[in-house]
């Protein structure tokens, strides 16, 4: 096979750089003069892991980001097979699928003319029967990709990418028409997965979180979760604006295979630090804690670092993107209970209590009161929200409401505990259980000396 030429990297309508593959197979991103004239050096233009620079970014930064634009697992293997490529051929897959990626990037050969403005007009209308047929063929045609439809989206779950027209009908994303919606069929081994995810996503909105819009629609005899892409905005003139984003793995130059913290992936504290570093809105740290509280309390253990995304803004700052891919995994005994991202060092989703959530937030720089208010606000809103969603949802998986009530009630009662006591930098514990004493968790002194957990006698204050 002849060696593939470089790819032009387009951000919206701007050609900002070139992605190349060396003879040794390593990827390299070089920003061009157009990007350097328009934006100041140091701005996280394509990625937080690759700020605008005079020097090119090589394998360590470039590969995790661009490989992170592609699907994973069986979906990737099937697409690669259909294209006659090796599944490890990241550059070859980007050549084939890079015109419709997550976010605002368009990757295409440098020899091609600039991409046309995204618009619904190029999409090819479909009937409901067409959609049902493509859903049934996802095993052999993942994402709906074929010789005409070239799309890419991270993740391992089978899904179909389509364009929704202004009249609500469906169309194939061809030419300059990007996909606007994700259709997710049931997961075979998780009964009621569509209803579970729809319920939990709408529940998140009821407790005040920003989430992707979802609905359940039927095609033939199959119920499908329809997710509106928040990285696509359809304008009144039928044009589509792509919104640039990246997930946390990409932002830290971490390969998708390490998306779980137990495999060396990013921590929640690192996410909070990223938001601060790139000038996210002040309340984004609190939003993150509210999200972590909600997903932990409802029993979603599978929240890994590719399930958290940030938007890139024109001024070089970032902000936390809406919540997505949420479900109560504790409804399924076969699903691991190990958290994708740990909370206060706790690895099991069932072991995380209110104080763990508060301490986690405090480790990000939040005050104890701010952290408690964020956690408590979600917990207080949950019971009523569960009842309201149960009444509004036409399909609710068996036992889901009961599981959600039990989990939220157990943590609401613990909110009555005394406040936390801070004894030293980084040392936080629950207020006295024994008169005049508090338990100090294990920690390290500033010089690195380890200190074991122990009871600490509080000073006695005389009232005389």
Enumerate the active-site residues.
302
Angle between helices 59-67 and 90-97 (to 10 degrees): 50
From the number of C-beta atoms within 10 Å of its C-beta (0-12, 13-18, 19+), residue 53 rates as middle
Q: By the 8 A CB rule, do 371 and 314 touch? A: no
Rounded to whole angstroms, how far apart are CA atoms 192 and 136?
18
| Per-residue tokens: 31 | 């920003």
Of 268, 258, 255, nearest in space to 295 by CA:
268
How far is CA 188 from each of CA 116, 144, 409, rounded to the nearest angstrom? 39, 19, 31
Element (H, E) at 408: helix 400-413
* Residue 449 burial (CB count, 10 A): 8
Phi, psi (rounded to 5 degrees) for 118? -60, 135
Sign of CA pseudo-dihedral 381, 366, 305, 46: positive
Query: Strand, coil or helix: what is 385?
Result: helix
Rounded to whole angstroms, how far apart are CA atoms 77 and 79?
6
Q: Can you say how many angstroms the Cα of residue 221 is from the centroid of all Cα atoms in its chain?
A: 30
Q: Can you say how many angstroms the Cα of residue 230 is from the centroid of all Cα atoms in its chain?
A: 12
How far is CA 434 from each of CA 178, 368, 388, 430, 455, rounded to the nearest angstrom? 62, 22, 41, 11, 9
In Å, the largest CA–CA distance within the chain is 90
Rounded to whole angstroms, how far apart are CA atoms 163 and 172?
6
Rounded to whole angstroms, how far apart are CA atoms 184 and 462?
65
Q: By the 8 A CB rule, do 371 and 334 touch? A: no
Phi, psi (rounded to 5 degrees) for 14? -105, 130
| Per-residue tokens: 448 | 């690195």
């Amino acid at each position: 096979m002849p060696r593939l030429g470089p790819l032009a990297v387009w951000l919206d309508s701007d050609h900002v750089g070139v992605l190349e593959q060396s003879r040794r197979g390593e990827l390299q991103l070089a920003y061009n003069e157009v990007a350097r004239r328009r934006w100041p050096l140091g701005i996280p233009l394509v990625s937080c892991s690759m700020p605008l620079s005079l020097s090119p970014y090589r394998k360590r930064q470039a590969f995790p980001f661009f490989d992170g634009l592609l699907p994973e697992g069986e979906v990737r293997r099937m697409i690669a097979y259909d294209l006659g490529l090796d599944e490890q051929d990241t550059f070859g897959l980007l050549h084939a699928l890079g015109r419709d990626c997550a976010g605002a990037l368009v990757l295409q050969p440098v020899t091609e003319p600039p991409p046309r403005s995204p618009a619904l007009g190029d999409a090819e209308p479909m009937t409901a029967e067409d959609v049902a047929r493509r859903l049934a063929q996802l095993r052999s045609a993942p994402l709906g990709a074929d010789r005409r439809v070239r799309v890419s989206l991270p993740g391992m779950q089978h899904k179909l990418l389509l364009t929704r027209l202004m009249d609500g009908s469906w169309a194939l994303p061809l030419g300059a028409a990007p996909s606007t919606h994700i259709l997710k069929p049931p997961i075979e081994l998780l009964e009621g997965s569509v209803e579970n995810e729809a319920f939990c996503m709408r529940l998140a909105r009821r407790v005040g979180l920003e989430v992707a819009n979802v609905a359940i629609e039927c095609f033939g005899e199959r119920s499908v979760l329809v997710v509106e892409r928040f990285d696509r905005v359809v304008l009144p003139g039928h044009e589509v604006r792509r919104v640039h984003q990246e997930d946390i793995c990409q932002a830290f130059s971490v390969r998708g295979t390490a998306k779980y913290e137990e495999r060396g992936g990013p921590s929640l504290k690192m996410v909070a630090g990223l938001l601060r570093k790139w000038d996210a809105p002040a309340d984004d740290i609190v939003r993150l804690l509210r999200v972590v509280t909600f997903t932990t309390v409802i029993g979603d253990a599978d929240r890994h670092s590719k399930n958290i995304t940030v938007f890139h803004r024109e001024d070089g700052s970032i902000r936390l993107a809406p919540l997505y891919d949420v479900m109560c995994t504790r409804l399924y005994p076969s699903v691991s209970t190990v958290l994708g991202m740990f909370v206060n060092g706790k690895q099991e989703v069932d072991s995380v209590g209110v104080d763990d959530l508060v301490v986690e937030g405090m480790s990000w720089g939040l005050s104890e009161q701010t952290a408690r208010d964020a956690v408590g606000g979600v917990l207080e809103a949950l019971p009523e929200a569960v009842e309201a969603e149960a009444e509004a949802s036409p399909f609710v998986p068996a036992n889901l409401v009961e599981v959600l009530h039990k989990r939220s009630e157990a943590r609401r009662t613990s909110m009555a505990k005394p406040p936390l006591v801070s004894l030293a930098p980084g040392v936080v514990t629950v207020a006295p259980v024994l008169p005049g004493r508090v338990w100090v968790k294990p920690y390290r002194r500033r010089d690195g000396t380890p200190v074991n957990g122990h009871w600490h006698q509080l000073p006695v204050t005389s009232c005389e």
